[in-house]
Structure 1
């Protein structure tokens, strides 16, 4: 499943990418561009904008109005769409598929001595399971229990 997320749902875009979903964050796109991209790439449009929702429905795009104002609620609303998780994780910044990396191939001195590591082949950002990862997992488990 692929998503387009409008400018009001930036945090949701990051979370969907972390979960492995191909997510276009349309923060600087006009409504018509968002619709055209969503339709041509068969993406589900997620929005808080009722006007955009009505335009999308009229154009035949698959879309969902996100009502919640917190990430747990937003993800819970999408639970039926995101129950099957993709096998990979995406870069929360640029949406590229992360690749497992060996420490010796990473040029950054800021990487802690933790394995495994993942590298974004597009933006070069390095990821690992740090203390934040525990909070991410706890949040996702909490949502699954809802």
Structure 2
């Protein structure tokens, strides 16, 4: 009883989250202002993330109409407006909360985004992915290698060490690709078929005198990394509601012994193949595509424009991506 009598009363602030930031909130708090109670004088970043919104998704905070940094302390009675990344409105540099964009956009992806990894590599973006990355390793890679961390795990993106990251709202891999291109304004940087969809190595035109292995088609939908998205019929992983403890998918053990698993999943550093002669290429491929064969310099995979290309272009065109 004595502790209750001496406990300091809670303070309250009025919060309003705009646009897609509402997706992180409980339904009753979306597209409207609401009161939020707290103890002491916490930072505005602490209160925003306690409501379920990762700091990586916030680009502007106004407290009583004035822009403030994440470290701004709340005392009670303020009105806090929180805005997401702006695509069509240029903010003054003094107002921005996000660090400066990386000079070269490079990515590292959470274990649930294997198909997206293949698509990003297909478009020429440097993308690290393995289906056994732990959270600590993802955080370390993102920070040490200056890579943008892509994830659908809000708890991972709330880590203070993550400076460049993005939550993906879409669940379909093609729509996730469109979301990444829009958020980081990457359409002008697309360079199709310059990276290996399997291992992320650089792909270059093939010297026909140094053939290594039979060619293969470049199609993420046909042969993609063993990702951790739920199969049809299995409930999709749900991000926790605000106030609910964060939970990570316990199924961390990657599959073993799968002969169809891509080289970067079986072995992150596959050996370079032995170079062989052009006679190893099937005659029909050599005669029809000899001038357009290319090979990954890391894993040795050979690519050629097969019959799948028209279907792939059509699938990507449905989300506004041209290759």
CA shift at 1:86, angstroms? 4.6
Runs of 4+ in 1 over 4 A off after TM superposition: none
Q: Match of 1:64, SS?
A: strand
SS in 1 for 2:113: helix
Name the residue aligned to 1:78.
180
Q: Is the 8 A contact 1:94 1:123 kept in 2?
A: yes
Q: Deviations over 1:30-85 (max 9, x none)?
A: 11111111111111111111211212xx2242111112221221112112223222
Partner secondary structure for residue 129 of structure 2: strand
Answer 1 or 2: which has greater helix percent.
1
**Which residue in the other structure is 1:52 paired with?**
156
Instruction: Please give the alpha-carbon distance, in whole angstroms, between the structure 2 residues aligned to 1:86 and 1:39.
Output: 24
- Tell me, yes or no, if structure 1 residue 64 matches structure 2 residue 166: yes
3-state SS of paired residue (1:92): coil
* TM-score, length of structure 2 as denominator length: 0.41
Counterpart contact for 2:116–2:174, Cα < 8 Å:
no
Change in CA separation of 1:142 and 1:85 when aligned onto 2, cut-off 3 Å = farther
Question: Does structure 2 conserve the Cα–Cα contact (< 8 Å) formed by 1:4 and 1:26?
Answer: no
Computing the radius of gyration from Cα coordinates, the structure with the larger value is 2
Tell me the CA shift for residue 142 of structure 1. 2.5
Could you tell which deviates more after superposition, 60-69 or 13-22? 60-69
Count residues with an aligned counterpart.
Answer: 143
The residue aligned with 1:105 is 210
| Mapped pair 1:29 → 2:133 | yes
